[in-house]
Structure 1
């Protein structure tokens, strides 16, 4: 693959939302003429990304979030991973900035730990070497695809958000393509700023996994552990014997060990009391969302008109950053004056 492979960077954003990611892109060590930047406005991120990918002119489409802060070398590193023609997608972790608040950094400790993030924890920490991977380690706020392949597979399933990228990557793996996780291909994104936002985040993640299960079938049985734990707690008041409390005691022991280990690894002993709250909150929110996604998926409810999407071309291929302008697109993805 050519070192100066044209890349289209796609950033979904709510209408009128701030796009912090663009300013960092101006510092990237990659030929400016080989970079295209599209911002897709709307209220359906999977639809926004699909519309922008259909318009994109790059050989690769690189998806970032509006607050994804990249390293200057990230594009060159990503392009190098696509030298192998079997590679369909390349991504790296989303790390917690050191400038985040105490609460946000505690959230970062939770989701990057085995007890909190589980098999997905490497999405939130830098560890190991670049390697073939699965959807468990890759995250859409920092993920590149071969554009033609992305379109050939129908892009993201617009019934899903989140977990739209997980469903697509599972299909790619089933078809024999490779996914690569590169720990050094990291971006920085702030964690949710409040307890309520954290709960909503993991309720949403659980809902997305449940809806993905309804569409594609059960992929990872361990995902349902939080749902079973939630059901267990709801039934506990009617426990016939004290033996029913053994799983709760075991969970408490694991919680203590996990909180101490995460605080030790993060050099944040003062976070231990907060971690005692955040770990169960993550598990129970995710479990509740997963049950909702399985039992009452949003795509099975009454459908409304597809949400409108407008794509702004922030920077075109062949254009230096200094001359970058803005164009708009209608909802079908055709550029308008």
Structure 2
């Protein structure tokens, strides 16, 4: 069995007993100003407290100035890298001084005990990074037709995800930590890949897979007690948004597969399609028969539609990637 202190690379990896966390929040719009303030307040309330809070602003000088004027204890930086959330996170990470980087979104607030739950994991030198569940904070009631198997549509942990502590392929950048030295060695989030405008590609999945390929014995850990809440506005509870997001997930996974290979890019998704979704459909039909209600059938139907739109997006996206590579 290899020495845990030499697993990631030939050079020693420290077992952090008391790591300092630099929290990077990617922000881009004044429309989420209240959410951003709530995010910062939730971080200030953590015990232990983060070493520093960095707000990285993407393409919005007015927001940058407001952060500097209103949140003086927060480090505000402008995204001088590639446009999008990944570029903003890279810009924020560039000024960080903590041993561990933590990423959350501007519409996320962390639960009490979040940082404490992640803190102790880095005593294990094989842990490359860690994260936890992302729970939906619905602005309105959860739609009766919205299947929990598709909570990823609104950026949240979905049914079929681990419920207990586990090693996972990838984390989600709304609740994600990583050793800063390894992040820098990897080059951060891939340039020109991710969420920019109407395009959506899973930049955090790309980062996690690249890290796993470079350091195959390292771990990404899921810690169920390190929870955050993700705001879900009313506009994201419409079927039209649901299906559009499924399509973009398909095209994004096609772009990911073009970079890291289809096996690595869809390994988790294959099990999800083979096990989680059929169970959700059968469960919905069974519940409808037992309760003689329509809502479970609606959820089952949306699982089928969501899968169809995602697969269609993947097929079209794969064709586009192959054409572009010619």
- Quote the residue 2:167 is aligned against: 132
Q: Does the aligned pair in 2 maintain the 1:126–1:183 contact within 8 Å?
A: no
- Quote the residue 1:22 is aligned against: 40
The equivalent position to 2:22 in structure 1, one of 1, 5, 8, is 8
SS at match of 1:96: strand
Q: 1:111 deviation in Å? A: 2.0
Q: Does the aligned pair in 1 maintain the 2:251–2:318 contact within 8 Å?
A: yes
Alignment of 1:135-284 (within 5 A): 135=170, 138-161=171-194, 162-174=201-213, 175-176=215-216, 177-191=218-232, 192-219=236-263, 220=266, 223=269, 256-260=281-285, 271-284=295-308
Distance 1:290 1:107 in 2: 22
Q: 1:99 deviation in Å? A: 6.2
Which is greater in Rg? 1
Q: 1:224 to 1:127 in 2, by over 3 A?
A: closer
> Deviation per CA, 1:296-317, whole angstroms, max 9, x where unpaired?
249959xxxxxxxxxxxxxxxx
Distance 2:318 2:126 in 1: 33
Q: 1:284 to 1:72 in 2, by over 3 A?
A: same
Distance 2:148 2:187 in 1: 36
Q: 1:204 deviation in Å? A: 1.7
The equivalent position to 1:37 in structure 2, one of 35, 54, 60, is 54
Aligned residues: 266
Q: 1:46 to 1:218 in 2, by over 3 A?
A: same
Q: Does the aligned pair in 1 maintain the 2:134–2:156 contact within 8 Å?
A: no
Distance 1:225 1:124 in 2: 13
Q: Which moved more, 1:273-282 or 1:62-71?
A: 273-282
- Quote the residue 2:148 is aligned against: 109
Distance 1:181 1:262 in 2: 30
Distance 2:237 2:243 in 1: 11
> Deviation per CA, 1:166-205, whole angstroms, max 9, x where unpaired?
1221122222221101112121224422212212222222
Q: 1:108 to 1:50 in 2, by over 3 A?
A: farther
Distance 1:48 1:262 in 2: 44
Distance 2:243 2:18 in 1: 42
Distance 1:261 1:83 in 2: 46
Distance 1:121 1:71 in 2: 14
> Deviation per CA, 1:133-181, whole angstroms, max 9, x where unpaired?
212xx21211101111101111111232221111221122222221101
Higher relative contact order (CA 8 A, sep 6+): 1
Alignment of 1:309-324 (within 5 A): none
Q: Does the aligned pair in 2 maintain the 1:40–1:48 contact within 8 Å?
A: yes
- Unmatched 5+ stretches in structure 2: 1-14, 60-82, 195-200
Distance 1:253 1:134 in 2: 22
SS at match of 2:146: helix
Q: 1:36 to 1:226 in 2, by over 3 A?
A: closer
The equivalent position to 2:98 in structure 1, one of 54, 58, 75, is 58
Distance 2:52 2:287 in 1: 39
SS at match of 1:189: strand
Distance 1:28 1:54 in 2: 23
Q: 1:69 deviation in Å? A: 2.1
- Unmatched 5+ stretches in structure 1: 228-251, 302-337
Q: 1:208 deviation in Å? A: 1.3
